[in-house]
Amino acid sequence: MIRPGLVSIVGAGPGDPELITVKAMKAIRAAEVILYDRLVNEALLSYADARALRIYCGKSPGQHAMTQEMIQRRLIDYALEGKRVVRLKGGDPFVFGRGGEEALVLAAQGIPYEVIPGITSAIGAAAASGIPLTHRGVAASFACVTGSRCPGGTDGPDGPPIRWDLLAHAVDTLVIYMGVGQLREIRAELLKHGKAGTTPVALIESGTTGLQRTFVSTLAEVHQLAAAVQLSNPALIVVGEAAMIREQLHQLQHQASARIG
């Protein structure tokens, strides 16, 4: 009997191919099979052995994405063939990455696996935009929330509804993933539950990549800004006073360069 191969569930980081861990890079180098997602920067595949099998799991034009079940089946089948498998995911595999589901399936089959964390897009994009998610006197907490379970969202009824009523008040900085399509609903929920219309909101598109765009508005006006700039995925919505630190940084830099220059 062949000993099953190790499956590494690996975080590829938020987009910039240098924002990956040494451990993740080593796992990619050692892999015989790599199953990678849409948000993974393909430059990372250059670390792989030339003979490694590269399997794209996202949606490509005119083709259907692989279902989660198909991906899991492949992970199991390659591991049972004794292959060293890497499951490469954008950001961190355990933050809206379905890494937990894959770990459960592998564990149930008795297949050895490891999880290698990655910089989740909230952390990467905030850093690249000058938005400290916590800041003394401004923000003492942050939460990562999915926007896809809002009314009209794609995640539908799986799982409990998001408690926007509580999040509006209990957390200082909200980082909303998968929220671009539901921005209007999210905005309406937060306003309905008493979040001030003047609360700063940042929109970060393609954070940490060469295509990054960051915009800052207020909760009252953010939907108009998103439409005006044609905000597109992948993007994060950051709600909270911390978003203003970006503006302060810009002002200070501007003033300093005026003094020097």
Site for ligand SAH (CB under 6 A): which residue of 8, 41, 72, 120? 120
94: CB partners within 8 A, 6+ apart: 100, 115, 117
Chosen residue from 234, 239, 240, 243 binding ligand SAH by CB under 6 A:
234
Distance (Å) of CA 211 to CA 26, 85, 113: 27, 30, 34
Q: Contact at 8 Å (CB) between 172 and 142? A: yes
One character per residue 132-151, x = contact with ligand SAH (rule: CB under 6 A):
--------------------
**CB of 41 vs ligand SAH, minimal distance in Å:** 9
How big is the chain by its Cα radius of gyration, in Å? Answer: 20
Which residues sit opposite 214 in a β-bridge? 204
Alpha-carbon distances of 63 from 113, 215, 233, 255, rounded to whole Å: 30, 33, 19, 51
Applying CB under 6 A, among 24, 95, 106, 133 the residue interacting with ligand SAH is: 95
Whether 192 is catalytic is: no
| Near ligand SAH in 168-227, by CB under 6 A | 177-178, 204, 206-209
172 flagged as catalytic: no
Q: Which residues are catalytic?
A: 37, 59, 178
Q: Which residues bind ligand SAH (CB under 6 A)?
A: 14-15, 39, 89-92, 95-97, 120-121, 125, 177-178, 204, 206-209, 233-236
